[in-house]
């Protein structure tokens, strides 16, 4: 089996990223997020996330 090592470049983690299923708060579509969905926070699919970006830039 061929395994692709290229997952975007930069951050490389050991093992696959754990994905959690969630329902988009906007369109209702089922999506997967790389974090545990917080019931107090809306979760958006990739399409809707474009329209609901946080107003302040992300910090690391
Ligand atoms: Zn959506």
CB atoms closer than 10 angstroms to residue 31: 20
Average pLDDT over residues 48-56: 80
Distance 8 CA to ligand 1 centre (A): 23
Contact 45, 34 (CB under 8 A): no
Q: Which residue has the higher pLDDT, 16 or 60?
A: 16
pLDDT computed for residue 21 by the predictor: 94
State the residue range of the domain holding 31: 20-49
Burial of 49 (0-12, 13-18, 19+ CB in 10 A): middle
Tell me, yes or no, if the pTM score tops 0.85.
no
Task: Classify residue 60: in a domain, yes or no.
Answer: no
Task: Classify residue 36: in a domain, yes or no.
Answer: yes
Task: Classify residue 29: in a domain, yes or no.
Answer: yes
Q: Is the pLDDT of residue 16 over 90?
A: no
Contact 30, 55 (CB under 8 A): no
Task: Classify residue 32: in a domain, yes or no.
Answer: yes
Q: Is the pLDDT of residue 5 over 80?
A: no
Distance 37 CA to ligand 1 centre (A): 14
The total number of structural domains that make up the chain: 1
Distance 7 CA to ligand 1 centre (A): 23
């Amino acid at each position: 089996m061929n395994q692709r090592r290229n997952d975007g470049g930069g951050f490389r983690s050991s093992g696959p990223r754990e994905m959690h299923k969630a329902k988009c708060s906007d369109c209702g579509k089922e999506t997967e997020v790389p974090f545990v969905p917080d019931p107090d926070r809306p979760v958006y699919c990739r399409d809707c996330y474009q329209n609901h970006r946080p107003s302040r830039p992300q910090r690391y």
